Amino acid sequence: MKKVILITGASSGMGKETAKKLIKEGHTVYTVARRIEQMQDLKQSGGIPMHMDVTKEADIQRVVDVIIQKEGKIDVLWNNAGYGIYGSVEDIPLEDAIKQFDVNLFGLASITQKVVPYMRKAKSGTIINTSSMGGKMYFPLGAWYHASKHALEGFSDCLRLELKPFNINVVVLEPGLIATEFGSTVLSSLDKISKQSPYIDMMNKIAEGTRKSYETNNSSKPSVVSNTVSRIVNSKKPKTRYRFGKLAKPLVWMRIFLGDRLFDKIVTSQM
């Protein structure tokens, strides 16, 4: 069945790859991001790109209004926009931490609030929230990123129960290492921190591990995401969570079943 789909963070990586697949499947796909110039290929493929900053209420309202005016509904909202900053809690300015939450949680909540009334009225819809394996476990120097994803997990669980009476699905994605811009964003945030930081040795090891994971093809292709999202979109009763991509399942399993101290020991042994 052809559906009207809204995807945030669609200018690259998982969002763009999945948008292409959903367009090919015949769905009406609206793609939004700050970098609209990077979505022209989606337009040529049949998608409908629009500029939107998830931290700006006016942008969000405009996008939702346009889609409802043209289509009369939004069947699927994929909250995919997000990024990660890395650095010690001591080193990262609080305004950067606030921005992390503005994008990864509060912006997501804002667009969800604006879309839900239309889904509720239709008694149908699916909301997909991109969390991470980092929403279930953690690495040093990632406090604000992991905090935002842990918060998103709790937000999504509560939302799922609230919307169940209205036949609206809420699905959480927990990808592992995926070949996207995430690694370069992490490295960029570390580069901004003073080399005099007392955490410099830890920073160097995290940077080395990030390069190894993201710059040497040691991560899963975005197609694992597009295939998963396609299954969710085309399912009448999707699962509440989908965990996929390199290391996602084993690391989360270790976090859940090994306990804090043993998991801490495993993580620090890689440092």
**4-269: CATH topology:** Rossmann fold (3.40.50)
Distance CA 191, CA 144 (A): 17
Model pLDDT for residues 94-148, shown as the tens digit of each residue: 999 999 999 999 999 999 999 999 999 999 999 999 999 999 999 999 999 999 9
Q: Is 86 a catalytic residue?
A: no
Distance CA 250, CA 137 (A): 11
Model pLDDT for residues 30-66, shown as the tens digit of each residue: 999 999 999 999 999 999 999 999 999 999 999 999 9
- Would you state the pLDDT for residue 130? 97
Mean pLDDT score across all residues of the chain: 93
Integer CA distances (angstroms), 231 to 164, 224, 228, in order: 20, 11, 5
- Would you state the pLDDT for residue 215? 62
Q: Which residues contact 269 (CB under 8 A, 6 or more apart)?
A: none
Break the chain into its structural domains and give their ranges.
4-269
- Would you state the pLDDT for residue 73? 98
- Would you state the pLDDT for residue 211? 81
Where residue 240 falls among pLDDT bands split at 50, 70, 90? Answer: very high
**Residue in 30, 118, 138, 145 annotated catalytic:** 145
- Would you state the pLDDT for residue 147? 98
Model pLDDT for residues 191-223, shown as the tens digit of each residue: 888 888 999 989 888 888 888 776 656 788 888
Report which of 74, 44, 3 is spatially closest to residue 235, judged by C-alpha positions.
3
Distance CA 200, CA 172 (A): 34
Give the rounded percent of residues in the chain with a pLDDT score beyond 70: 98
CB 90 within 8 A of CB 142: no
CB 142 within 8 A of CB 150: no
Mean pLDDT is lowest, of 30-34, 177-181, 227-231, for: 177-181
